[in-house]
Structure 1
Amino acid sequence: MLLLAFDTATPAVTAAVHDGTAVLAEAFQVDARRHGELLLPTVQRVLEEAGVDKRDLTDIAVGVGPGPYTGLRVGLVTAAALGHALGLPVHGVCTLDAIAHQARTEGGLTGPFTVATDARRKEVYWASYDAEGRRTAGPSVDRPAELAPEAQAVGAGALLYPDTFPGARGPEHVSAGRLADFAAAELAAGRALLPNAPLYLRRPDAQVPAGYKAVLPA
């Protein structure tokens, strides 16, 4: 396996190459306004650092959110285009699941916990997990005051609202290396991942105006 993984569902633009056993190269940059500008150069950089030609890749894994529309679509469209051009399967990964995997492998979490990322509008995208890292609730989008999260919480959204998530800690954003670890393990176990389709969880800000008057030529 030679898996290319990337995610643009959070303010981070992150990409990695994984050989089915370990991460060969990874890049990570937080810049919420430049996902479209940064993603392809970041992908090219990790391929070069890993010494992998894109034509040798076997799979692509992409974070499908939940996340804001503008950033999230950059990763999904890029994954679809690369998959089509290279003839590769594209596997979707819930970004919250990848952060949960990261929190357990890097942060040493034990016991149930909640992952929350910033959804803006004073809301968070969240999901809860058991001690084995299996998702038990979510993903959903809610105001923090409406939640009863697990005692432990991670993610940028949790850190923004300490009254709801006391003692929250990192990781704030997803790492493509850990997303790749998660995807590789799921594929090796024969478990299907998600389609390359966005988890927006709410309607976009832009709406088709209602009640407008049609003007027809005389």
Structure 2
Amino acid sequence: MLETLTDNWDLFVEAFRTTVLLLIVSGAISLVAGTLLGAMRVSPVPALRTAGTAYVTLLRNTPLTFVFFFVAFGFPRLDIRFSYFAFAVVALSAYTSAFVCEAVRSGINTVHVGQAEAARAIGMTFGQTLTQVVLPQALRAAVPPVMSVIIALAKNTTIASGFGVMEAGAIGATLNERGYPAFDAMIWVAVGFVIVVLPLSLTQRRLERAVVRSR
């Protein structure tokens, strides 16, 4: 079993490097986009609320594989051509941002409405109230569920292997073509994901304890 890893070390390193890069880039975009969507969901402007709700409802109820299909095969029909890696980032970010949005919105709902009313009473605009009063408190409560979404994103990156991206999910098929046992390959892939996800899980637990202590 160890030979499967040592003989193909370069493959494992390159594939997991791509996986981590997908996680970092898609995660960063999802956090920004999800926070903006969360702001839209609580906006006093009906058009923004409707657009945010429609986006979240559509993406949360669409399988991620379908999102990949739409991006990978629909974008080229619109003459939008990127690398497979970029397509994977777009699909993962679009999908994950919907879940980040709901985590942020749940955090916003934990902030007492009286604080927003007090901010408006002293003349603060909606944008000022949201960014200076509500979001700083909401994000503190939203951090643990957001971390759960990021952990799920780390696992979802494996779907990119079916769309031309050479990441960890593609290791099994590649080694099978080389004649190595598929079971051995999957064991090492699982170990690799534990190494990637474990720091995220530990961070989530620490943040959860920090949130509990701050209340």
TM-score (norm 2): 0.24
Higher share of residues assigned strand: 1
Please say which structure displays the higher CA radius of gyration. Answer: 2
TM-score (norm 1): 0.24
